[in-house]
Structure 1
Amino acid sequence: MTAIVTRFHEAMLHKSADELADLYAEDGVHEFPFLMPGMVERYNGREEIRAGYKASWGATPASVEEIRNVVIHQSTDPEVLVVEHETAVTVYGRPYTVPGLLVLRVREGKIIHTRDYMDATAVASLRSGHTE
């Protein structure tokens, strides 16, 4: 199951909504429990994930440089992985780090559910270009 984490991180590095969405089951869910008001809270289904990430990644000035400090935790549920990571991004030539935590439920090689926890304030700032 760790291969799916590698592919997830590669999609982030490439800012490829297609690569990311292709990891999901047709009815997969990707949710963001801690986002700021006005931001999307969840995507329902592979095609909504694809469209949402295409719009989101297409609109951000952030360039993903590296996914680092990755720690994968197996849970007592064989379908669930917990992934800690830091995303190193560059925005207008300045480097920033956004810590994150993913809780992935994988069944038959496809993600069926993701809870994507990240620093919502940092993400909102990076999206707006206001990084101070």
Structure 2
Amino acid sequence: MTPREVFERLIEGVTARDWDVLPELYAEDAVVVHPMAASDGPLVGRDALRRHFEHAATLPLRMSARDVVVHETADPEVVIGEFEYAGQVTTTGRRFAIRNVFVLRVRDGLIVEARDYADHARFGVAIGRPPAPLAAALADGPPGDDPLFPDM
């Protein structure tokens, strides 16, 4: 697969919740970084990605990708995909929209390196599990309008 095709398959897999197949899009020694997530660091290797997707399978989310734009770069291994996840929390019915950018390096049809610029704090707020510092800030904020979800 070309880098563009791998990106498209990745988005299709996430939105279809095809969690068992997604790790196979990555090289055995792939490195994935989520720069906007409060995490312990990069996911290294297909097994770490498999655990990541197993966790994702437990989240009460249904999502689709919209406004997808793919940028092919001067480096034939690198593709940049911009899109928005439009979703719904299945347990509450709450709707959300979260912009995202993936930067993928694909070699021999497999992702060897990725940076996923998703707003993980916003995902946490959507499902009712914001990161602790954000939860404290939201608890101290004014009642009424939700600054993270102004259209809600």
> Going by fraction, where is strand more abundant, 1 or 2?
1
- Give how far 1:84 is off: 0.2
Residue in structure 2 matched with residue 48 of structure 1 by the alignment: 48
Residue in structure 1 matched with residue 84 of structure 2 by the alignment: 86
Bigger Rg over Cα: 2
- Give how far 1:10 is off: 1.4
| Alpha-carbon distance between aligned partners in 2 of 1:47 and 1:70, rounded to the nearest angstrom | 28
| CA RMSD, 1 decimal | 1.6
Residue in structure 2 matched with residue 11 of structure 1 by the alignment: 13
- Give how far 1:40 is off: 4.5
| Alpha-carbon distance between aligned partners in 2 of 1:61 and 1:123, rounded to the nearest angstrom | 11
Q: Which secondary structure does the structure 2 equivalent of 1:17 belong to? A: coil
Residue in structure 1 matched with residue 110 of structure 2 by the alignment: 110
Q: Percent identity?
A: 31
Task: Read off the aligned partner of 1:87 and give its amino acid letter.
Answer: Y
- Give how far 1:24 is off: 0.5
**Residues 37-65 of structure 1 deviation map (CA, whole Å, 9 limit, x = unaligned):** xx35321101110111211x13322222x
Residue in structure 2 matched with residue 61 of structure 1 by the alignment: 60
The answer for unaligned runs of 5 or more in structure 2 is 131-145, 147-152
Please give the TM-score of this superposition, normalised by the length of structure 1: 0.87
| Alpha-carbon distance between aligned partners in 2 of 1:8 and 1:124, rounded to the nearest angstrom | 21
The answer for unaligned runs of 5 or more in structure 1 is none
- Check whether the contact 1:59–1:127 (CA below 8 A) recurs between aligned residues: no
Task: Read off the aligned partner of 1:89 and give its amino acid letter.
Answer: G
- Check whether the contact 1:61–1:126 (CA below 8 A) recurs between aligned residues: no
